[in-house]
Structure 1
Amino acid sequence: MGFVEKISMRLFHDLALFLEPIFPELRDDLRMARMRISAREYIARSIFIAFLVFLAEVPLLSFIFGLSLQTFLFSFVFSFTISIFLAGCFFFLSLNYPKLIAKERAKKIEKDLPFATLFLSTIAGSKLPLYRILRIFSEFGEYGEINKEILEIVKGVEAFGLDINTSLQRAIERAPSKPFKDLLWGMLSINKTGGEMDVFLREKAKNFMEEYRRKLYEYSRQLMFIIEIYLTSIVLGAIFFTILTAIMGGMAGGGGLIIIQFLLIVVFIPLITFGLIFVIRSMNPGGE
């Protein structure tokens, strides 16, 4: 437990204990986000930080509104109300932060899952026990978050003395990605029933590859659509608007149109371009 968590638990333990049943999904979100902190400690820390934000906002907003409104009492009450609202927003955003981390981890896992499953099926072709298959896989660091999850399974066996089935069961509970959960469930079932692990992994790799190709195809179609909209609406529209305003400015002699043209070319188009780049990167099934 860190310094902030100790102070938070000392000040807000009872309130965190009261709020913990209201957010039952937080414990799973923290586990899937690999944040090694209990739900109660995380709630207490979020309350503490939100309280600090509230204490910082009240005098700052009171000073700002006091200068503009020239009435201290109204400025203080207004700042107090806004500070409570902003601190509450910060608290709820903080509680949703582990969910965002878990979703980002799930996206990274699903990006590498087809190739990692193919590699697992290759190792399983040697008919090694499941623990040995996962042990060999964990020694390669090419698959990011999947390697971390597999390494946790191996550590559960080597460091804590768990059997491979129990360690797999725990990995399923903390896995943030549904396809990865399904893969681990299948491996657990095959290991319990004594089926052909290499055949199962080969079929799963084939299914994941087909899904990956489908996502790439959809991504290429969406990318073509976005590029067409960008070229026709943004670029050609900006060119047409610039020419039209230049003609109107020459006829009417308006100097303000030059400022509008400058803002359009220097500010608006780059902002739209960076926004589209961000959207395209987030849509890419291959990650970067």
Structure 2
Amino acid sequence: MLHRLWIHERGTRHQPFTIFLLLPIFFLLAFFYFIKLADAKADRIRKEISKEIVFAGRYLIIELESGVPLYDSFSNIAKEFQVVGPYFAEIIGKVDLGTTFEDALNETISITPSPQLRKMLWQVLNALKTGAEVSDSLNIVFDQMIREQQIEAKEYARKLNPLAMFYMIMAIIVPSLGTTMLIVMASFMQLNLGITVLIVLACFVGFIQYMFLAVVRSQRPPMDI
């Protein structure tokens, strides 16, 4: 009885020390998790902007070439586009409050997470400072963006070939042949394959297919053209 009481008291004394050791590890893991979470969110925003930026740029060029003022063109983009629209709405809001167009563009350029949107706004800002035609500068920028997206699409198509081969082998051929061979070997060895084994195999195949879809989705270029 005394021995058990001594063991209990010893374990109780070590509990605060164990918690003290685990707390830094917990906070460290939480710290890196939130850092990665912020990076993932910023990356998602960049991809969403990249899907709309070409359409928004073409829309802006058409508006400017049709004689629509830059202020009204930005207002129309803010209304028509869901992802890039808030950035243009922010510029318009600052201009309405008395900020110059150049300063409003500079402030938005400094906070936007998308390099493509930043490049677009830089061209507008430089055109305003130099007095050049905004549409001409934007045409050059978006021609380059379209070429870059076409290159990314071709690279994505080349990456799909080995991924499709991997999917055929690991998600179709190996499970079907492996299951057949397993059943045949089990019948020769007089082993009883229960439902649990089949469920595990089905879960494994589902996991492989999920991983394949996740890899394909992560490799997909951020465009919608």
Shorter-normalised TM-score: what interval? Answer: 0.7 to 0.9
Q: Percent identity?
A: 21
C-alpha deviation, 1:209, in angstroms: 1.7
Instruction: Confirm or deny that 1:269 pairs with 2:209.
Output: no
| DSSP-derived class of the 2:80 partner | coil
- Partners of 1:223 and 1:195 in 2: CA distance: 43
Q: Which residue of 2 aligns with 1:81?
A: 21
Q: Is the alpha carbon distance of 1:76 and 1:240 closer, same or farther for their aligned partners in structure 2, counting shifts above 3 Å?
A: farther
- Contact 1:108/1:145 (CA < 8 Å) preserved in 2? yes
Q: Which residue of 1 aligns with 2:147?
A: 210
2:110 pairs with 157, 162, 173, which one?
A: 173
Deviations 1:211-267 (A, max 9, x none): 222222222222232121111233101112112111211111122576434311x21
- Contact 1:111/1:285 (CA < 8 Å) preserved in 2? no
- Contact 1:115/1:205 (CA < 8 Å) preserved in 2? no
TM-score, length basis structure 2: 0.85
Q: Which residue of 2 aligns with 1:134?
A: 74
TM-score, length basis structure 1: 0.68
Deviations 1:124-146 (A, max 9, x none): 112444223212222213xx321
Q: Which residue of 2 aligns with 1:193?
A: 130
Give the letter for the 2:210 counterpart: F
Identify which of structures 1 and 2 has the higher relative contact order when contacts are C-alpha pairs closer than 8 Å and 6+ apart.
2
- Partners of 2:36 and 2:217 in 1: CA distance: 23
- Contact 2:123/2:134 (CA < 8 Å) preserved in 1? no
Structure 1 unmatched ranges of 5 or more: 1-65
1:145 pairs with 70, 83, 88, which one?
A: 83
Q: Which residue of 1 aligns with 2:48?
A: 108
C-alpha deviation, 1:271, in angstroms: 1.3
- Partners of 2:138 and 2:127 in 1: CA distance: 10
Q: Which residue of 1 aligns with 2:177?
A: 240
Deviations 1:59-101 (A, max 9, x none): xxxxxxx99xx93333442233223311232134334533332
Farther off after superposition, 184-193 or 205-214: 205-214
- Contact 1:124/1:198 (CA < 8 Å) preserved in 2? yes
| DSSP-derived class of the 2:84 partner | helix
- Partners of 1:274 and 1:80 in 2: CA distance: 39
Give the letter for the 1:184 counterpart: L
Structure 2 unmatched ranges of 5 or more: 1-6
2:99 pairs with 156, 162, 165, which one?
A: 162
Deviations 1:4-56 (A, max 9, x none): xxxxxxxxxxxxxxxxxxxxxxxxxxxxxxxxxxxxxxxxxxxxxxxxxxxxx
